[in-house]
């Protein structure tokens, strides 16, 4: 059985935004579970990191929140993607694409010139 790892530095905000884009409004626990499921249960979301990230994304205008009732009939705060969040997804996705292209250059097998 593979041990779960923590979410990588700098990736949580993008994972939260993409989850909300894909799934629609969700509460924090649901977001965490979906991120873990999407990773194939290889990642573990730390709630001490998740909730501050949600607060930060809301302060930045990327998401909004409203109180509602969860599936198990409990009061929960639901988060929803805003237009600024969609723009942030595009921006961060471009940055990650560029970063992975650069890293791939270092990891690719090199051939010696003849």
Distance CA 55, CA 43 (A): 21
CATH number of 5-106: 1.10.10.10
pTM: 0.86
Distance CA 72, CA 87 (A): 33
- The owner of tokens 């930045």 is 60
Query: Residue 55's pLDDT is what?
Result: 97
Mean pLDDT score of the chain = 91
What pLDDT, in 10s, does the model give residues 52-96? Answer: 999 999 999 999 999 999 989 999 999 999 999 999 999 999 999
For 86, other C-beta atoms within 10 Å of its C-beta total 14
**Res. 111: pLDDT tops 90:** no
- DSSP count for the chain of H helices, then E strands: 4, 5
Query: Residue 114's pLDDT is what?
Result: 57
What pLDDT, in 10s, does the model give residues 43-61? Answer: 999 989 999 999 999 999 9
Query: Residue 95's pLDDT is what?
Result: 93
Where do the domains of the chain lie?
5-106
């Amino acid at each position: 059985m593979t041990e779960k790892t923590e979410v990588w530095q700098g990736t949580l905000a993008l994972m939260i935004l993409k989850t909300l884009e894909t799934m629609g409004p969700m509460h924090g626990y649901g977001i965490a579970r979906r991120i873990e499921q999407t990773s194939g249960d290889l990642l573990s979301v730390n709630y001490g990191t998740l909730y501050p990230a949600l607060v930060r994304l809301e302060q930045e205008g990327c998401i909004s929140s409203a109180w509602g009732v969860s599936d198990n009939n409990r009061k929960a705060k639901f988060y929803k993607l805003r237009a600024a969040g969609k723009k942030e997804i595009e921006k961060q996705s471009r940055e990650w694409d560029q970063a992975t292209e650069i890293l791939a250059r270092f990891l690719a097998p090199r051939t010696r010139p003849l």
